[in-house]
A and B are shown apart, each in its own frame.
Chain A
Amino acid sequence: MQHSIWKTMWKEICRDPLAIIGLAVFVATVATVYIWALFIPLEAMDGVFHLRLAPPDWAAGVPLGYDNIGRNVLHYLIIGARNSFNIAFMVTGGAVTIGMLFGLLAGYYGGFIDYILMRILDFFTMIPSLIIIIIVAALFNFTVVSFSVMMLLLSWPATARLMRSMTLRQGSLEYVSASKTLGTPNIVILFREVLPNLVSIITANLTITLAMNIGIETGLTMLGFGLARDVPSLGRLIEFGRTAYNMQNRLWLWVPAALMVVIMMLCVNFVGQALNRAADAKKRRA
């Protein structure tokens, strides 16, 4: 059972040229960023005063020029992308794990447990999370870890809701009642029998959440409500585009980072679309 759903997902990706390209570009970019970042010395983030805002110079090997304190934008882009990816991965992993457990418990047990869990969920849904993040960002200087924790608040309820409704649907199916009649403990039914049936939905949800989180992190940071000013991030580079002069005349500062965010999100969504098809037998391409 578990084996075949992974196979189906892989098959769906292979059938869709866009998904293959998306997956390849995504893996290549992530690998490049993480490996390249190892070779960038810490001093690269210090900046060289007389090089401030120097335009790109291919001959000198500086294809993206320098930023406002004389840092090589290409190096900054790599380090910033690593931070942005770290946040996106951590938040997505956390949100999907919490949402999955929450939804499974609420949907499977129902009754009182469901009622309590849903009220908690309602509260988190109602909180204007973005506003809370902005307020907390004014309070503390966000590091990569503390910012990820705040973003978790924003993204787990959606997953929990989806998982609950999916578990509800599974719970009423015959294989569950059959298993119950045989005396299988609930916990075994839940994790060995219901969960495997939801794997494809979880994976599809994972990709969509990942794409969303890349966008939210860079968006908040570019407005100054995200990572502290001294932490490199893609959003920090895009922020240069907010002043009219930089936007028009210093494209090298913000366009590469903006394109990187868009391309990464596009790739992840292409893969997610293929996984979505795998999750729904009706939509599979025969």
Chain B
Amino acid sequence: MWKTILRRFLILIPQLFILSVLLFLFAQAMPGDALRGRIGPDTHPDLLAELRAHHGLDQPWHVQYWRWLTALAQGDFGTSHTFQRPVTEVVGDSLANTMRLAIVATILTYLIAIPLGLLAAKFKGKIVDKAVMMYTFVALSMPTLILGLFFILVFALRLEWFPSGQAVDIIADGQGGWTRFVSQMHHVMLPAITMALLGTVSIIYFLRGEIIDNDSSDFVTTARSKGVPNNRVYTRHILRNALLPVAGNFGAIIASLFTGSLFIEVVFTYRGMGQLFVNSLQGRDYPVIFALTMFFAVVLSISFLVTDIIITILDPRIRIK
């Protein structure tokens, strides 16, 4: 198994390399460069050329690529053109906000999904089960962005329970400490609820299916015939086995929340990595775009890998060859 993990990590290197070359070629083909928007219409062409040369934008792409790669090897992601700050700082700021959103959304997802899955399985075929299944259909069919719009309309603009944008209140941010934390949580709630409500579907299906399957399995029949009380069978025998695949699903949930946050952030104007990505793209801020794309690629593959590892640890029957 360790060999597999090592191999998966090693494969990551050529994959990231190909991806970064592709990105550089895209960047070369994109109209406009990082100086766009920072120059007036009457900027002297000589000055412009000088600025380009200063940033190294006049060199062919492979020279720029090599410079970027060697800097990266030394842990330097470059400087953001737009913010004139190191990319690591710029990304770090928004990463904290995105992480908060992802964590709160994950917790909410499990908080909603596990009880619903348990209820649906326990009352299989009854009205409760049907209601839960109906909810999963609607959640499956509801694009996050559209639900986000309706939620902003109802809960932020009409009822004014939640703020409709930003990651934190400016005044509360200045006060720091507890006030800031409360404000951050208040801002993160609505997008997190939106994501959580729609992210529960796979967990509910898994849990319900596993419980129902286990319920009719031999070891449960044996336990029942030995006279183990029903509740105990349920908690000790069925649940333990049924929660395994749910835990195995964890990596996939994280991956989908990260990529999902890319879009939900734009709709909620939440200042995270998604927003940063879109803004850098519009400002042609390549160092930030590259760093973010690489980050997303690494997060995606690691979460797939983690999923596989968790499954192997939890279920010895499945062995990675």
**In the bound complex, do residue A258 and residue B146 qualify as a contact, i.e. CB atoms below 8 Å apart?**
yes
A223 to chain B: which residues have CB within 8 Å? 145, 263, 266-267, 278
Known: A131-B277, A242-B149. A123 touches B143 (CB 8 A): no
**In the bound complex, do residue B141 and residue A241 qualify as a contact, i.e. CB atoms below 8 Å apart?**
no
**In the bound complex, do residue B141 and residue A269 qualify as a contact, i.e. CB atoms below 8 Å apart?**
yes
Name the one of B23, B146, B158 contacting A261, with C-beta atoms under 8 angstroms.
B146
Q: How distant is A238 from chain B, measured CB to nearest CB, in Å?
A: 7
- Asked if B96 lies at the interface with its beta carbon under 8 angstroms from chain A, I say no
**In the bound complex, do residue B304 and residue A138 qualify as a contact, i.e. CB atoms below 8 Å apart?**
no
- Asked if A147 lies at the interface with its beta carbon under 8 angstroms from chain B, I say no
- Asked if B168 lies at the interface with its beta carbon under 8 angstroms from chain A, I say no
B140 to chain A: which residues have CB within 8 Å? 211, 265, 269
**In the bound complex, do residue B262 and residue A130 qualify as a contact, i.e. CB atoms below 8 Å apart?**
yes
A242 to chain B: which residues have CB within 8 Å? 149, 267
A238 to chain B: which residues have CB within 8 Å? 145-146, 149
- Asked if A248 lies at the interface with its beta carbon under 8 angstroms from chain B, I say yes
Residue pairs across A and B with CB atoms within 8 Å: the count is 103
B152 to chain A: which residues have CB within 8 Å? 247
Known: A262-B146, A265-B142. A128 touches B293 (CB 8 A): yes
B29 to chain A: which residues have CB within 8 Å? 139
**Chain A interface bracket (under 10, 10 to 19, 20 to 34, 35 or more):** 35 or more
**In the bound complex, do residue A135 and residue B15 qualify as a contact, i.e. CB atoms below 8 Å apart?**
no
**A254, B267: Cα distance in complex, Å:** 14
Closest Cβ neighbor of B267 among chain A residues? A242
**A71, B289: Cα distance in complex, Å:** 37
**A179, B301: Cα distance in complex, Å:** 39
**Chain B interface bracket (under 10, 10 to 19, 20 to 34, 35 or more):** 35 or more
Q: Map CB proximity to A onto B130-152 as digits: 1 under 8 Å, 0 otherwise.
A: 00000001101111111001101
Q: How distant is A140 from chain B, measured CB to nearest CB, in Å?
A: 9
A262 to chain B: which residues have CB within 8 Å? 141-143, 146
B153 to chain A: which residues have CB within 8 Å? 241, 247-248
**In the bound complex, do residue B145 and residue A222 qualify as a contact, i.e. CB atoms below 8 Å apart?**
yes
- Asked if B99 lies at the interface with its beta carbon under 8 angstroms from chain A, I say no
- Asked if A244 lies at the interface with its beta carbon under 8 angstroms from chain B, I say yes
Q: How distant is A121 from chain B, measured CB to nearest CB, in Å?
A: 12
Closest Cβ neighbor of B258 among chain A residues? A128
**In the bound complex, do residue A123 and residue B157 qualify as a contact, i.e. CB atoms below 8 Å apart?**
no
B289 to chain A: which residues have CB within 8 Å? 135
Interface residues of B in 191-217 (CB under 8 A from A): none
**A211, B138: Cα distance in complex, Å:** 12
Q: How distant is A225 from chain B, measured CB to nearest CB, in Å?
A: 8
**In the bound complex, do residue B300 and residue A128 qualify as a contact, i.e. CB atoms below 8 Å apart?**
yes
Q: How distant is A16 from chain B, measured CB to nearest CB, in Å?
A: 12
- Asked if A215 lies at the interface with its beta carbon under 8 angstroms from chain B, I say yes
- Asked if A286 lies at the interface with its beta carbon under 8 angstroms from chain B, I say no
Q: Map CB proximity to B onto A117-129 as digits: 1 under 8 Å, 0 otherwise.
A: 0010011011110
**A138, B289: Cα distance in complex, Å:** 13
- Asked if B296 lies at the interface with its beta carbon under 8 angstroms from chain A, I say yes
Closest Cβ neighbor of B260 among chain A residues? A130
**In the bound complex, do residue A254 and residue B149 qualify as a contact, i.e. CB atoms below 8 Å apart?**
yes
A102 to chain B: which residues have CB within 8 Å? none
- Asked if B259 lies at the interface with its beta carbon under 8 angstroms from chain A, I say yes
6 A-B pairs within 8 Å (CB atoms) are namely A216-B143, A238-B145, A238-B149, A242-B149, A261-B143, A261-B146
Could you list which residues of chain B lie within 8 angstroms of chain A, going by C-beta atoms? 11-12, 15, 18-19, 22-23, 26, 29-31, 137-138, 140-146, 149-150, 152-153, 157-158, 164, 259, 262-263, 266-267, 277-278, 281-282, 289, 292-293, 296-297, 300-301, 304
Could you list which residues of chain A lie within 8 angstroms of chain B, going by C-beta atoms? 119, 122-123, 125-128, 130-132, 134-136, 138-139, 211, 215-216, 218-219, 222-223, 238, 241-242, 244, 247-248, 254, 258, 261-262, 265-266, 268-270, 273
Instruction: For the A-B complex with A119-B11, A135-B281, A261-B143 known, give 8 more contacts whose Cβ atoms are closer than 8 Å.
Output: A127-B297, A130-B263, A138-B30, A138-B281, A242-B267, A247-B152, A258-B146, A261-B146
